[in-house]
Amino acid sequence: MQTASLFSVAFVKHYLTTMRPYLMFVSGITGLTGLAFAPELSVYKTLMLFAVFFLSYGFGQALTDCFQIDTDMLSSPYRPLTQNLIRKNDVLLVSLVGLGVSGLILTWAARINLPLALLAVFGLATYTHFKKRWWAGPFYNAWIVLLLGIIACSAGSGYGPAATIISPDFLLAAVIIFFGYANFVLIGYFKDVSADRQTGYHTLPVVYGLKSSALISDFFALFTLIAWLLFVGRNFVLFHWIGGLFGISGVAVLIYTQIMAHRVHSEKQAHKAVVPVVHVYILLLSSIVLSQKPHWAAGLIVFYAAFVLTMKLRPERNQI
Rounded distance between C-alpha atoms, residue 96 and residue 194, angstroms: 30
Domain CATH number, residue 64: 1.10.600
Strand, helix or coil for residue 133: strand
Sign for the CA dihedral angle at 22, 196, 96, 140 comes to positive
Phi and psi at residue 87, to the nearest 5° = -85, 140
How many helices (H) does the chain have, and how many strands (E)? 14, 0
In a domain, 4, yes or no: no
Give the residue among 129, 63, 49 at the shortest CA–CA distance from 95. 63
Q: Residues 38, 156: contact at Cβ < 8 Å?
A: yes
Write the CB contacts of 168 (distance below 8 Å, at least 6 apart in sequence).
Answer: 234
Q: Is the backbone of residue 240 left (phi > 0), alpha (psi -120 to 50) or beta?
A: beta
Rounded distance between C-alpha atoms, residue 111 and residue 320, angstroms: 34
pLDDT tens, position by position, 60-71: 889 888 888 888
In a domain, 1, yes or no: no
Give the residue among 303, 242, 318 at the shortest CA–CA distance from 31. 303
In a domain, 77, yes or no: yes
Task: Give residue 315's pLDDT.
Answer: 75
Domain of 140, in residue numbers? 9-312
Q: For the chain, give the longest Cα–Cα distance.
A: 58
Task: Give residue 141's pLDDT.
Answer: 93
In a domain, 39, yes or no: yes
Task: Give residue 319's pLDDT.
Answer: 63
In a domain, 264, yes or no: yes
Q: How many domains does the chain have?
A: 1
Phi and psi at residue 81, to the nearest 5° = -65, -40
User: SS in 3 state form for 46-59?
Assistant: HHHHHHHHHHHHHH
Rounded distance between C-alpha atoms, residue 186 and residue 184, angstroms: 6
Q: What is the pLDDT along the chain (320 residues), one digit of tens a residue?
A: 688 889 899 999 999 999 999 999 999 999 999 999 988 888 999 999 999 999 998 998 898 888 888 887 887 788 899 888 999 999 999 999 999 999 999 999 988 899 998 998 899 888 888 999 999 999 999 999 999 999 999 898 876 555 666 789 999 999 999 999 999 999 999 998 998 899 889 999 999 999 999 999 999 999 999 999 999 999 887 777 899 999 999 999 999 999 999 999 988 899 999 999 999 999 999 999 999 999 999 999 999 999 999 999 887 766 66
In a domain, 131, yes or no: yes
In a domain, 318, yes or no: no
Sign for the CA dihedral angle at 241, 245, 251, 254 comes to negative
**pTM of the shown model:** 0.92
Q: Residues 160, 205: contact at Cβ < 8 Å?
A: no
Provide the residue count of the chain. Answer: 320
Task: Give residue 67's pLDDT.
Answer: 85
In a domain, 2, yes or no: no
Rounded distance between C-alpha atoms, residue 12 and residue 18, angstroms: 10
